[in-house]
Amino acid sequence: QDLVQIVTRPKLKSVHLLETEVKNDSSKLSEFYNLLVDGTFENDDEAAFHFYQQEKSHPAYLKLRKTIKDRLVKSLFLIDLKKASYDVRQKAYYESYSEWAAAKILFGKQAPAAAISLSQKLLKLAKKFEFTELVVDITHTLRLYYGTIEGDYKKYQSYNKVFKYYETLWLLENKAEEYYTDLS
């Protein structure tokens, strides 16, 4: 239910997933998506009974549910969030984490030049919007890269210094969040 609220029909159409991924592959996927959007089902039991006259633990229903969920999750990365009604910080947050996922994939696929360039751009954005956890993750990766792969001690030290500062800040933010949650 949460995914279909985010991955709406117009958004799916804009990335051509509704027509190509859902309709051509299975009419049940398309029907399931549309019924979810319409709020037809209260729970998995109702959906499983609608499609298979079985309980939600039925293997065919579990496969259908997993398939639609996987496709909706993958489509999140294809949606243009600039067109949505988010404020500047929200847009920066979604774009940053989407691009960070891409950078991590690039590192994993042994494409360091592209990954480093994207990481450095994201680091500036993450600092600007105070995405502390993202700064920690980026600088952790960059210090590891420059310290082990590239062997650039000066860059390693630079990123390590930034990492340590933001790691401390992140720990303090987490402690404040913990206290706030305990009070709530």
| pTM listed for this prediction | 0.75
Within its chain, how far is the Cα of 142 from the centroid? Answer: 21
Using an 8 Å Cβ cutoff, are 104 and 114 in contact? Answer: no
Euclidean distance between CA atoms 125 and 73, whole angstroms: 24
Using an 8 Å Cβ cutoff, are 118 and 99 in contact? Answer: yes
Task: Compute, in degrees rounded to 10, the torsion defined by CA atoms 134, 136, 159, 90.
Answer: 20
Number of neighbouring beta carbons within 10 Å of residue 37: 15
Euclidean distance between CA atoms 184 and 181, whole angstroms: 5
Share of the chain above pLDDT 90, in %: 61
The answer on pLDDT for 180 being more than 70 is yes
pLDDT per position as a tens digit, 56-107: 999 999 999 999 888 888 877 776 666 667 889 998 998 899 999 999 999 9
pLDDT per position as a tens digit, 124-152: 999 999 999 999 999 999 999 999 999 99
The answer on pLDDT for 179 being more than 70 is yes
pLDDT per position as a tens digit, 101-131: 999 999 999 899 999 999 999 999 999 999 9
Query: Residue 119's pLDDT is what?
Result: 97
